[in-house]
Structure 1
Amino acid sequence: MDFVRYEDYTPVERPGYQQELDEVVSNVARRTRESVQRQDVGRAVRTAHGKTYGLVKATVTVGEVSAPYAQGIFATPATYDAVVRYSNGLGHLRADSLLGAACGMGIKMFGVPGTSLLTDEAEATTFDLNLINNTVFFANTAYDYMVIEELFAELPDALVNPARRKSWMGEFLTRRGTLASADEWLWDELFAMLSFTQVQRRNLLSYTYNSMGAFRYGDHIAKIRTVPLSPVTHLEVDVRADGEAFRNTLVAEAGERDHAFELQVQLNTDLGRMPVDNTSLEWPEQLSPWVTVARIDVPRQDIGGEDNLTAADGTSITPWRTREDHRPIGEIQRVREEVYRRSSIERHRINNQPRQEPASSAELL
């Protein structure tokens, strides 16, 4: 199988990108400040992944990996201390019945060698992975994100309100009327957004979580996912009976048994059919299989205290807290670099939280 070389990918450089990015970052910073009043909990809340479900201690083990998958931090066997943060994808703090089922799995590894791509913390030994329980994303450019982020803030209300649903989808599809031709409309992005409504509410430990965006993978290009290895006792999440069902199910499951996941990589074989700059299209598995490069072990533990939620809320996860061999690529990935950084700076400042990367899971838990 022939894998695309990283050097053969040419980033798309659009005129106006920097101006659009500056506006996106400004809007996110403003919405972060406004969240203090909007969410009414006495602190700033993330504009996405606002509701945290818990933080668990974990271990990431890299075994013997065959070429060409032995790249970057997965090139040699190693064991890393880690934590995993689970959260809801929306930026609201509500009962689970009033939120969707799009949930995130953020992995932070400690003691990873090399220089971080985040220039303001280049010496930090942490390495993050941002994953979500869907295979596709709904924005691909800075301009898309600038418009869609405002619409995203209306979810899930807009899609369950018959009076708003049709106009909301029209605004999304046409980028609020800025795309005149149907050939330009955001069909892939709209279908990607609607695919999130098909995600079933289940135990957070039972999902497969995906990076959606692409990364450099040493000499190649890849996407990343986690696949659960352990069956769960509490599969169903009844949000009608329990407004904190995701959290309570996670606490119960984590307290009863160990859990494990495979960390897998899909290498790109065709930039045409496996596009880097369109995260709204899933990479066909028949073009390139998923291959396991590491194992994540989550030992049985008690995460039921409020201190766990406090630690989870203060934990920053960004795809750019990584190494050069795993650089995020594609325009929406570049957007995330400054959006995540600025959001974290604003949130920690408002909440009087120290913005400093921990050196181990023990510092957090």
Structure 2
Amino acid sequence: MNPIRHEDYHPIERPTYQQELDEVVQQVARRTHASVERQGVGRAVRTAHGKTYGLLKATVTVGDNTGFYRQGIFARPAVYDAVVRYSNGLGHHRPDHQLGAACGMGVKLFGVPGPSLLDDERDSGTFDLNLINNEVFFANTAYDYMVIEDLFAELPEALVNPARRKTWMAEFLTRRGTLTDPGSWLWDELLAMLSFTTVPRRNLLSYTYNSMGAFRYGDHIAKIRTVPTAASLSALTHQIVDVRADNEAFRHTLVAEAAERDHSFELQVQLNTDLARMPVDNTSVKWPEDLSPWVTVARVDLPRQDIGGDDNLAAADTTSITPWRSREEHRPLGEIQRVRQEVYRRSSIERHRANGQDRREPAGSAELVG
């Protein structure tokens, strides 16, 4: 089955979108500033991916791709300097046993040709991949995000407390009572949210990390993921992440693995071949692999390195990752992706301002990690 052409996808345009987006952005700005006091770590914390586990030097090598996969920055062989940031998905800075296992892998490439989609850094040369260790996401519109962001801030306590769990899920399902018709309830989104609670606690280098949202892939449409290579996965020696015995188990495991050996991932894409069964505007639905397999288009290599110092965490904290730090050939698609464009930008601006940090894109990995 041939992949869908990019121009055959038509974005949904809702008349209330801009008003809802403005409220979401203001909400995120307020929560970012409030996090200085709320999180108790002496600085503003991200409203999502608040706790950093480490920043690693990396190399991304694009393969000699063929056919439909020869698109955009993957159209010809290339080698890019890069960094990889690991983090927890929640917007809290707490001991690991008080957080879930939803974790992110942010990849930033340097020296990528072409103008960035971000207007205030068109010539930065950086290109980001924003990935998480789950296949689906739990919000699909600006309005969903506006309501769910408040509920998201209650996690993980809301799902652990029996008295709150039932009412929390009801509020999520009905957008806090605004969806009165059961046929419009957010079942896909609720199931996607609950799927994050089933992610096991494992070595951060053992997960598959997904974009969840769709992107333009040159002439086509795709999702992106990273998968540990078989050799890298089999070489891991710190399999147990015991958050009860160690409040910083994820970081300490990552630091140990990074210091002992090289690690590698396959960077893969899944092309869209059926807009009905592989929806762009519903990120809560997994794209079936029997319709389109994942195909490797590049490799991410992490050389052996020491990331154990506090300077590493400081560098990771100032590093921003957004799916919109991209190129036109890989423009994010779908309403929730459009929401991310301004939300991520504003969140980064407000956080850097509150923390007195210089907000600029580095020219290479050497500016961030040794």
State TM-score, norm by structure 2. Answer: 0.98
Provide the residue aligned with 1:194 in structure 2. Answer: 194
Q: Find the partner of 2:320 among 291, 298, 316.
A: 316
User: How far 1:235 sits from its partner (Å)?
Assistant: 1.3
Partner of 1:61: 61
The one-character-per-residue Cα deviations of 1:243-262 (angstroms, maximum 9, x if unpaired) are: 10000000000000000000
**Matches of 1:153 and 1:235 in 2, distance apart?**
29
What displacement does 1:234 show?
0.7
> Which sections of structure 1, spanning at least 5 residues, go unmatched?
none
1: CA distance between counterparts of 2:252 and 2:119?
A: 38
1:237 aligns with 2:241: yes
Q: Which residue of 2 aligns with 1:78?
A: 78
> 1:10-89 alignment to 2 at 5 Å?
10-89=10-89
Amino acid at match of 2:242: D
Residue 41 of structure 1, CA deviation: 1.3
**Which of the numbers 345, 354, 362 marks the counterpart of 1:341?**
345
What SS does structure 2 have at the residue aligned with 1:134? Answer: coil
Structure 1 CA distance, aligned partners of 2:290 and 2:349? Answer: 41
Aligned-partner Cα distance in 1 for 2:89–2:324: 19
Partner of 1:355: 359
Q: Structure 2, unaligned stretches of length 5 or more?
A: none
Looking at structure 2, the residues matched to 115 and 234 of structure 1 have their Cα atoms a distance apart, in angstroms, of 41
Q: Deviations over 1:256-308 (max 9, x none)?
A: 00000000000000000000000000000000000000000000000000000
Residues 1:106 and 2:119 aligned together: no
- The count of aligned residue pairs is 365
| Correspondences of 1:184-333 after superposition (within 5 Å) | 184-229=184-229, 230-231=232-233, 232-333=236-337
Give, in angstroms, the shift of residue 236 of structure 1: 1.6
| Aligned amino acid, residue 185 of structure 2 | W
Superposition RMSD on alpha carbons, in Å? 0.4
Q: State the AA in 2 paired with 1:164.
A: R
Deviation, structure 1 residue 15: 1.2
SS at match of 1:180: coil
SS in 2 for 1:252: helix
C-alpha separation in 2, matches of 1:225 and 1:280: 16
Return the offset for 1:20: 0.2
- Identity, % of aligned positions: 79
Counterpart residue identity of residue 79, structure 1: V
- Please identify runs of 4+ aligned residues in structure 1 that moved more than 2 A: none
1:162 corresponds to which residue?
Answer: 162
Distance in 2 (CA, whole Å) between partners of 1:113 and 1:255 is 32
Q: Report the CA distance between 1:27 and its aligned residue.
A: 0.1
Code of the aligned partner of 2:316 = A
Give the 3-state SS of the residue equivalent to 1:19 in structure 2. Answer: helix
Query: Counterparts of 2:62 and 2:168 in 1: how far apart (Å)?
Result: 45
Residues 191-236 of structure 1: per-residue CA shift (max 9 Å, x gap): 0000000000000000000000000000000000000011211112
Q: In the TM superposition, what is the alpha-carbon distance from 1:63 to its structure 2 partner?
A: 1.4
